[in-house]
Amino acid sequence: MKEIKNISFIGSGNVASHLAIALFRNNFSIKQVFSKSFKNANSLAKKVNAQPIESMSQLSNNADLYIIAVPDDAIENIINQFPFKDKLLVHTSGSVNLESFSKKQFQHFGIFYPLQTFSKKIAVDFKHIPFCLEANTSANLKVIEKITKQLSDKVYHVNSEQRKSLHLAAVFACNFSNNMYQIAFDICQQNQLNFDILKPLIVETANKIVNQTPLEAQTGPAKRNDVKTIEKHLALLDNQKKYQEIYRLVTENILSN
């Protein structure tokens, strides 16, 4: 594989936007941006001096690397439409395995998975974002790794089975914990409390696991086996059976550790 200089993006969402801008700032040329929403493609393309396109049939073969950054359930459809068998094609998903490419007999393909939560309006520092890489050949892996190291100091070789488990762990660590914040937010709202009161606690809890394991950092009534407090909390949730069941399940899991 020749050195990667020109990159095209398939997707214009949160991941695509942050990656395209980061690569552009690291002197890669972004050639095209495709999105099912031409408005979104055009918005991102303007930021990286690229050509927005509204159809996969408009993809040019003048890129060295094509990055698929779309929702997981859209990746297979994009792969089926991708017109070039000899170009390096990667996706950014944590849960779609490498075999998704081999069915179409592509020559060069891989995984370029940044393990982070992205929001378009919140800047991220890619230097500290882990990238999990995989490719169909060692040569392609080296090419992807070389690009990645221009963005991040945290680069890992992770196979498809490992990445599926990592993605699952990330859902617990990120998505589920954020949903717990939403439950806490609801409880505060229902009782005329400002959710901001909890924010220092949330930050400190996250900071603890920098130097401790989660098991070591665990506190609270379940950790102390404080049965009376647990019973009081469950009683407070009598009118919110869904939250009550979540409280009960998580408490039992903490007690079992």
DSSP 3-state of 109: strand
Contact present, 43 and 16 (Cβ < 8 Å): no
Residue 99's domain comprises 6-158
Give a yes or no: residue 98 inside a domain. Answer: yes
Residue 1 inside a domain? The answer is no
pLDDT in tens, 42-84: 999 999 999 999 999 999 999 999 999 999 999 999 999 999 9
| pTM (predicted TM-score) | 0.87
Are 138 and 233 found together in one domain? no
pLDDT for residue 56: 93
Q: Could you give the number of structural domains in the chain?
A: 2
The verdict on 58 and 125 lying in the same domain is: yes
- pLDDT averaged over every residue in the chain: 94
